[in-house]
């Protein structure tokens, strides 16, 4: 049985960010599910992803972009069910580490200065990337018009989610991992991605010259290839 591929989008994006990789996966016989990440908190989002996993028969490859990597890192799955974890400019957090911590593993993130907070009833805030800063910050290697549409459809993440410590049992400690990221990622610096990939002892690490944080959108063929590599290489 070919693995089911579950795609986990991150903050300031949404499920359609995976559109470019769907056909290469489906065309070779994989069932694909694009999980709608709530972006409310690492533990609560991971619990919902774990619920989805519980309905899937057979092996699964999880692929997460950005904050989606933090979510998949914290899933609970049946022993042996998840056969690969693919981090597409994603957070492969260590136990107790937050997304904010991991972004600071190397200098260069400029995300904080682009965020617009929306206070929430009960405390905390949703955060959006300011529309006029979205293209340069998030998707500089995409056409301006495409980035403008993505800025409008971006989904916010809570400030608490970005600061929430990861759980005690990171998935990548027990599951083989693959990493793909862009050289010019302004959200999570390439140096931080390299550190996360090295400590996870990644099966493969691909850094794409000139690519932005949305490397999965700007380089769908390379993204699909590494997900397929995980699906056949476990």
Burial 78-113 (b: 16+ CB within 10 A, else e): eeebbbbbbbbbbbbbbeebbbbbbbebbeebebee
The pTM (predicted TM-score) of the whole model is 0.98
Tell me, what's the pLDDT at 127?
98
pLDDT of residue 233: 77
Q: Are 61 and 5 in contact (CB under 8 A)?
A: yes
pLDDT 10s digits, 104-123:
999 999 999 999 999 999 99
Reported residue count of the chain is 234
Domain boundaries, the chain: 4-233
Query: What is the token pair recorded at 136?
Result: 């340069």
- The confidence score (pLDDT) of residue 5 equals 98
For position 156, what pLDDT does the model report? 98
Question: Is residue 126 a contact partner of residue 120, using CB atoms and an 8 Å limit?
Answer: yes
Confidence (pLDDT) at 137: 98
Burial of 63 (0-12, 13-18, 19+ CB in 10 A): buried
pLDDT tens digit sequence for 4-49: 999 999 999 999 999 999 999 999 999 999 999 999 999 999 999 9
pLDDT of the residue at 221: 98
What would the pLDDT profile of 46-83 be if each residue is shown by its tens digit?
A: 999 999 999 999 999 999 999 999 999 999 999 999 99
* DSSP symbols for 41-92: -HHHHHHHHHHHHTT--S-EEEEEETHHHHHHHT----TTTEEEEEEES---
Q: What is the pLDDT of residues 133-157, one digit of tens each?
A: 999 999 999 999 999 999 999 999 9
Would the pLDDT of 159 be above 90?
Answer: yes
Q: Which residues pair with 33 in a beta bridge?
A: 6
Nearest to 18 by CA among 84, 63, 76: 63
- Read off the pLDDT band of 198 (50, 70, 90): very high
Question: What are the pLDDT digits (tens) for 177-189?
Answer: 999 999 999 999 9
User: What are the helix and strand counts (H, E) for the chain?
Assistant: 10, 9
pLDDT bin (cut points 50, 70, 90) of residue 234 is: low
Fold observed for domain 4-233: Rossmann fold (3.40.50)
């Amino acid at each position: 049985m070919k693995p089911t591929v579950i795609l986990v989008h991150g903050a300031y994006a949404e499920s359609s960010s995976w559109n470019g990789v769907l056909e290469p996966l489906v065309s070779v016989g994989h069932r694909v599910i694009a999980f709608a990440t709530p972006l409310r908190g690492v533990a609560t989002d991971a619990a919902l992803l774990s619920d989805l996993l519980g309905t899937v028969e057979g092996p699964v490859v999880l692929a997460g972009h950005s904050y989606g990597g933090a979510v998949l890192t914290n899933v609970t799955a049946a022993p042996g069910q998840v056969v690969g974890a693919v981090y597409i400019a994603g957070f492969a957090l260590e136990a107790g580490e937050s997304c904010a911590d991991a972004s600071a593993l190397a200098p260069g993130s400029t995300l904080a200065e682009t965020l617009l907070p929306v206070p929430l009833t009960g405390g905390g805030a949703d955060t959006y990337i300011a529309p006029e800063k979205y293209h340069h910050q998030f998707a500089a290697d995409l056409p301006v018009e495409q980035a403008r549409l993505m800025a409008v459809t971006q989904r916010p993440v809570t400030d608490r989610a970005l600061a929430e410590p990861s759980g005690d049992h990171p998935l990548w400690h027990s599951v083989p991992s693959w990493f793909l990221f862009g050289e010019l990622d302004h959200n999570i610096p390439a140096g931080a991605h390299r550190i996360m990939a090295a400590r996870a002892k990644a099966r493969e690490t691909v850094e794409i010259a000139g690519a932005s944080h949305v490397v999965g959108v700007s380089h769908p063929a390379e993204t699909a290839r590494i997900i397929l590599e995980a699906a056949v290489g476990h």
